Amino acid sequence: MGKPTGFLEYERVSPPARPALARLGDWEEFHGELPEEELRRQAARCIDCGTPFCHAGMDLGGGMAGCPLGNLIPEWNDLDYRGAWRAAAERLLATNDFPEFTGRVCPALCEGSCAVGKYGRPVTVRALELAIVERAFAEEWILPRPPRVRTGKKVAVVGAGPAGLACAVRLNRAGHAVTVFERADRPGGLLLYGIPPMKLGKEIIRRRVDLLVAEGIRFVTGVEVGRDLPVETLRAEFDAVVLCAGAGKPRDLAVPGRNLAGIHLALEFLSANTRRLLSPGSDESFSLSAAGKDVVVVGGGDTGTDCVATALRQGCRSVRQLEILPRPPVERSVENPWPQYPRVFKVDYGQEEAIAVFGRDPREYGVLVEEFVGDGAGRLIGVRVARVSWEKRGGRAIPVEIAGSGEVLPAQLGLIAPGFLGPEDLLPDRLGLPRRPDGLLEGLKGYATSHEGVFIAGDMRRGQSLVVWAIREGREAAREVDRYLLGEEGLTWMGFTSPAFLP
């Protein structure tokens, strides 16, 4: 590495976030930036570890280790340290089509597997990734790259989320004519409507989509394949079809009072807020605003945190985030060794903001929702909960209600955010693809379905996951589609790993 002793000389420094109370007054990104001198010092902390699990992207003992995209992290860290930013961007973009997305929203599996982090604080990989790509955009190193040769093959990609976009990029650069169909009014999928703008500014998505259009990718929005446009029509008009429609079937709560007014799925709430911001004149129901309300969020994951942060910006009166699981440990448990991603307690941006406003962490662990309580006129006024302890019985942990722990939490807005069960029914039903007991699809071989020329990628294939996994799925599906269209030579010679920039 450029500075073998860097990890001994420099402490980890993370980019400064905007102060919690200050950022609650707007919807701008809260991410800060480090000056170039500090970025180079942070890159110098990367060591010649011999086995860089940070880019391994592998399952170790049931836990993920390293980046699923196989990002060449030690290489571009070394280039960062030397000030070779353009070369670092080349190495970054060789494996990741959208580092401006992952550099903002990825939980950084790579940092959890960093060798420096085994005994100290890991390298600031995500911050360096974001600094590289934003410098590449600022210096205009990233330009439209339309293919020099077209193959005459046409591919339809259904879904303009990260998997669909990654698949479209790869296939377009291989020379195929790609059309992306999206049922929403804009491309982006959950990047646009599922992740709030303070984490991922919507102009960042627009910048990338504009680049893809300039490269020759066609986007058709406001069209739901399977309802507005039959799948068979696509199969007749295109040489291949790739379904990247996501895992949008929500995991709901089957408890009394679920149908009361004021209870919404998390994605419904987040999407409505983004639509309001993108189209200020739109007429969204006031019931989807948290202004002046007591808010209860059911679900302790990232989506639940995004709901907390959104409710705070909308001016909620109070907010609680409930999780049935016990609080994670502060340090790794013996069941979660390095280099697996650490499943430990952390305070994310939404909780930090709630603490700044209300003086307490909004999360409550070991809480079971028993009932949504109404006012007699069909409107939510509270959530009945009970505390649980987790006990091992028959070799598995189960929640056991603690006697006398029941209470009713005030709530006029309830947000359900316990995740998703797999793809929605429409497209699988149209194709006759059965489901496994876990909600995922059967009848798949790799990324191919049992239907000639029809492929599936992203969350639709593997279930709810991370943006970085969706990008990997899109890239790998593109390789399979290209081989289907052109044979084994395919993307191995038509630019799958070609340089990221124009000559």
pLDDT digits (tens, 9 = 90+) for 456-471: 999 999 999 999 999 9
Whether residue 498 is predicted with pLDDT greater than 70 in this model: the reply is no
Of 202-211, 433-442, 482-491, the poorest mean pLDDT is in 482-491
pLDDT for 497 equals 43
3-state secondary structure of 241: strand
3-state SS, residue 9: helix
With bands split at pLDDT 50, 70 and 90, how would you rate the model's confidence at 499? Answer: very low
- Local structure of residue 3 (DSSP, 8 states): -
The pLDDT assigned to 286 comes to 56
Grade residue 328 by pLDDT with cuts at 50, 70 and 90: very high
**Domain 154-249+421-493 classified CATH 3.30.70.3270?**
no
pLDDT for residue 410 is more than 70: yes
Of the listed ranges 149-153, 212-216, 243-247, 418-422, the least confidently predicted one is 418-422
Q: How far is residue 179's CA from residue 464's CA, in Å, rounded to a whole number?
A: 24
* CATH number for the domain running over 252-418: 3.50.50.60
User: d(Cα 64, Cα 126) in Å, to the nearest integer?
Assistant: 17
DSSP 8-class letter at 15:
P
User: Which is nearest to 109 in space by CA: 55, 174, 146, 168?
Assistant: 55
DSSP-derived secondary structure letter, 319: E
- Whether pLDDT at 493 is above 50: no
Higher-pLDDT residue of 458 and 283 is 458
Mean pLDDT of 339-365: 96
Average pLDDT score over the chain: 93
E runs forming strands in 267-311: 294-298
CA distance 71 to 113: 13
In the chain, pLDDT over 70 holds for what percent of residues?
Answer: 95
**Interatomic CA distance for residues 367 and 363, integer angstroms:** 10
Whether the ω angle into residue 328 lies within 30 degrees of 0, i.e. cis, is: no
Domain ranges within the chain, ordered by starting residue: 6-138, 154-249+421-493, 252-418
In this predicted structure, the answer to whether residue 500 has a pLDDT above a threshold of 90 is no
- What is the band of 372 on the pLDDT scale with cuts at 50, 70, 90? very high
> What number of other Cβ atoms are within 10 A of residue 215's Cβ?
17
In the beta sheet, which residues pair with residue 355?
A: none
Q: How far apart are CA 202 and CA 156, in angstroms?
A: 25
Per-residue model confidence (pLDDT) at position 355: 98
* 497: CB partners within 8 A, 6+ apart: 94
> What does the pLDDT average to over 407-425?
95
| Residue 299 to residue 455: CA distance in whole angstroms | 32
Does position 256 have pLDDT exceeding 50, yes or no? Answer: yes
Note the pLDDT of residue 495: 44
3-state per-residue secondary structure call for 347-359: CCHHHHHHHHHHC
Which stretches of 266-310 are assigned E, i.e. beta strand? Answer: 294-298
For the residues 313-336, what does the mean pLDDT come to? 96
Window from 55-59, 77-81, 136-140, 193-197 with minimum mean pLDDT? 55-59
Decide if 429 contacts 455 (C-beta within 8 A): no
The predicted-structure confidence for 198-226, as pLDDT tens digits, reads as follows: 999 999 999 999 999 999 999 999 999 99
What are φ and ψ of residue 92, in 5° steps? -65, -45
Q: What is the model's pLDDT at position 68?
A: 95
Q: What is the Cα 294 distance to its own chain's centre? A: 27
CATH match for 6-138 among 1.20.1440.60, 3.30.420.40, 1.10.1060.10, 3.40.50.1100: 1.10.1060.10
Residue 287: per-residue pLDDT: 63
Q: How many helices (H) and strands (E) does the chain have?
A: 19, 18
Q: What is the pLDDT of residue 56?
A: 87
Structure tokens at 139: 């210096």
Nearest to 146 by CA among 201, 217, 228, 242: 217
421 or 363: which carries more pLDDT confidence?
363
Strand spans (E) along 317-419: 318-323, 363-365, 367-374, 380-393, 396-401, 407-410, 413-416
260 burial type by CB count under 10 A (0-12 exposed, 13-18 middle, 19+ buried)? middle
Task: Give the span between the Cα atoms of 475 and 165, in whole angstroms.
Answer: 9
- Is pLDDT above 70 for 128? yes
CA distance 296 to 309: 12
With a cut of 50, say whether residue 8 has pLDDT above it: yes
Q: What angle do CA 25, 261, 282 make, to 5 degrees?
A: 50
> Which pLDDT band holds residue 491 (cuts at 50, 70, 90)?
low
**2 token code pair:** 């450029």
154-249+421-493 and 252-418 in the same fold: yes
